[in-house]
Structure 1
Amino acid sequence: MDKIRTSCLINNYNYAEFVSEAIDSALNQTVKFDEIIIIDDASTDNSVEVIAKFAQLDNVKCIFQETNQGQLSSFNEGFLAATGEIIFFLDADDIYQPQYLENALKFYSRRTECDFIFCAYKKFGAVEGIFQTDAVDLDLGYSVIRTLYNGEWIGSITSTLSIRREILRKILPIPNIEDWRVRSDDCLVWGASLVGAKKFYMSKPLVMYRIHQNNQYHNNKFLHIDKNYEYKRFWKRNSLFNYILKKNNLSLPLLLAFTSLNELKTIPCPKFQDFISYLKIIFLFEHILYWKIKGIILLFSYFIKILMSGKLNK
């Protein structure tokens, strides 16, 4: 089996008290990263001093941005500097469990069609607990149509994400960095779906997600108080979608009665909610009445088939 080259991108802004722990967790994997790229987004604390101590290591590269531009800018710069076939993302206040990379690489090697993995994680710090999408590993299939029409977000927090380079190059770099100073994982999660990534979920909680008073998003009171935030995010999402579609010469799928069903069939063991999602798409967005009815009938027939076969994921 050929070795898969890996890159770990650690983005940091004013997390001097945490960043060394994040870097150590990437360095101390049971299977080593080929390169670790640390991007500091013009921190005003002593982050640069902390990060610089790691610069002498052979597999570590440090990028110090001169002006603070937000998380998406760090993703852009890190990706442009990376050489790995699979790119792993880590926020500077989070931690990898020692066997995270080893488990992820086994997953990619076993499922060669896999383009994108997100895994379960453990919260620690101010809040503790395990967050799992499901108790078992999942093949989530393709999600182009679900993302385009329903805006579905099939993924997880930044530090649980890894993506094949061939998928990321269709997404990054993204120029509208001001829109995504925070919540830049939206760009990765939505973008990967739009360009046709086959997504998988890994049920082992191999990432530690730190909850603390300075979380850039989790504890950003402005985002939670601002009633217009989701409205603004909707328009930023539309702009992002338009950029990615144009960049990759993609167009909206036609005949949703068939394309929706074909996409659903890429999920080996779909959940009831998956059927509801595609039913919603056909009902709302298929404008020709004949194909709307045809699509609903086809979807219902497939649901009965999956139910009778015992493949419905409950």
Structure 2
Amino acid sequence: MNSISVIMPVYNSEKYLRNAIESVLSQTYKNFEFIITNDGSTDNSINIINEYAKLDDRIIVVSRKNRGLVYTLNEAINLAKGEYIVRMDADDICIPERLEKQINFFKEHKDIDILGTQVKTFGDVSPEIKIRDENKLNRTFDIGKSNRETIINYWYCLAHPSIMLKKSILNKLKGYRNFKSEDLDLWLRAIKAKLNIYKLNEKLIYFRLHDDSKTKVDNKNNEGLKDGIKIKLMDVFENKIEDDFKYIIWGASNGGKATKEVVDKYFKKSKCVGFIDKFKAGEFLNRRIFSPESVENIEFDYVFIATEPGKEEAIGKLKEIGLKSIDDFFCTV
């Protein structure tokens, strides 16, 4: 029996698919099955998949009409025979030792349930974007802790295609749920179920950045961002909040706008007291903009940090006045 099942959804990925498949087949750890699902591609993806399947009997091919990523992941998980599930994307590349290093860590740390890795970003984007996104993806995790605060506040800190996890915990959590940010939802549900998430401090994946990526596509009109904010609200509050909930948003820009829209929809009787912004004054969305220095004088129940550039400054200021992450604030972007 194979101890690992690598699952890779494919949708119109012919441009990068060969490199992704070959990086899995070239692993130093050999005992795995490789489930590749063609999710209704209209390009040459299925022909490329079948070409490799003829060469390597570890490949299991599923091909059908398009049903979306979450359906595809759950379908592959149900088919998988391995004790461990490995996520792989059709546009990324594994280093040859990836599976070996992850499975060895699992054998030595029986208490870990979900294991990610650091990544090396590459692709057709500027060097500045590569550095920025690599820094986001490569925040370190603490072993023996839930890492919930890191996952909520830094969102993209755990690269989904770097994950190896026990199939038993996916069965326990009943797989992925139908969110655009299905990975964030799974991590937070795992933590709530007292499961342990950790990340190796080694770059075992080349994580491709490009304009056709799922993250880019899902976030048109901020839909992906709004979905993630909703998931965080569900986790942090669990409907335990007063009707006269008053909040402020740190960041008077697109992130603040998306945050207000989701919070007002989720908490229909909530009230946005205003926005905090270091560089703006006046009003935003018909609410007053306050300076960071005035935050102590505002009456509120909670703060949502909705600025990426000013995130660390906002966290520092709120902690300085005695507020606690998650209890009193969290980052929505």
**TM-score with structure 1 setting the length:** 0.66
Q: Percent identity?
A: 24
Cα deviation digits, residues 151-179 of structure 1 (max 9, x gap) = 874851221111111211123444x53x4
Structure-1 residue corresponding to 2:275? none
Matched, 1:104 2:106: no
1:65 paired residue number: 64
Tell me how far apart the structure 2 counterparts of residues 241 and 279 of structure 1 sit (CA, whole Å).
Answer: 13
| Higher relative contact order (Cα pairs below 8 Å, separated by 6+ residues) | 1
The 1:229–1:163 alpha-carbon spacing in structure 2 relative to 1, beyond 3 Å, is: closer
| 8 Å contact from structure 1 (residues 135, 203) kept in 2 | no
Q: What's the counterpart of residue 229 of structure 2? A: 234
> Do the aligned residues in 2 keep the contact of 1:7 with 1:88 (CA within 8 Å)?
yes
For 1:55-204, what aligned pairs fall within 5 Å after superposition?
55-56=53-54, 57-66=56-65, 68-127=66-125, 131=134, 138-139=142-143, 141-142=145-146, 153=155, 156-174=158-176, 177=178, 179-180=179-180, 183-204=181-202
| Pairwise CA distance, 1:135 | 8.4
Residue 223 of structure 2 corresponds to residue 223 of structure 1: no
**Residue 45 of structure 1 corresponds to which residue in structure 2?**
43
Alignment partner, residue 15 of structure 1: 13
Local SS of the residue matching 2:16:
helix
Distance 1:241 1:64 in 2: 38
Q: Deviations over 1:38-86 (max 9, x none)?
A: 01110111111111112332211111132x2221111111101111111
Structure 2 unaligned segments of length 5 or more: list them. Answer: 238-314
- Deviation at residue 125 of structure 1 after TM alignment: 1.7
In structure 1, give the amino acid aligned to 2:146.
Y
Counterparts of 2:39 and 2:96, CA distance in 1: 26
* Aligned-pair Cα RMSD in Å: 3.5
Matched pairs, number:
242
If you compute each CA radius of gyration, which structure gives the higher value, 1 or 2?
2
Distance 1:241 1:10, change over 3 A: farther
Secondary structure of residue in 1 paired with 2:42 = coil
Write out per-residue CA displacement over residues 185-241 of structure 1, whole angstroms, 9 at most, x where no aligned residue: 223323322322211110110100112232221x33x725x2565334433566799
- Name the one with the larger strand percent: 2
Alpha carbons 2:117, 2:159 under 8 Å: kept: no
Q: Structure 1 counterpart of 2:76, which letter?
A: G
Residue 32 of structure 2 is aligned to residue 34 of structure 1: yes
CA contact (8 A) 2:121 2:208 kept: yes
Secondary structure at the aligned position of 2:158 is classed as coil
Q: 1:111 to 1:53 in 2, by over 3 A?
A: same
Conserved in 1, the CA contact under 8 Å of 2:115 and 2:197? yes
| Distance of aligned partners of 1:13 and 1:229 in 2 relative to their CA distance in 1, 3 Å threshold | closer
Pick closer, same or farther for the CA change 1:126–1:147 going to 2, 3 Å: closer
Q: What TM-score, normalized by structure 2, do the two folds share?
A: 0.62
CA 1:241–1:11: 2 relative to 1, 3 Å: farther
Gaps of 5+ in 1: 243-271, 285-314
Give the Cα–Cα distance (whole angstroms) in 1 for the partners of residues 17 and 174 of structure 2. 24
Cα 1:229–1:211, aligned 2, differ >3 Å: closer, same or farther? closer
3-state SS of the aligned residue for 2:87?
strand
The separation in 2 between residues aligned to 1:118 and 1:107, in whole angstroms, is 11
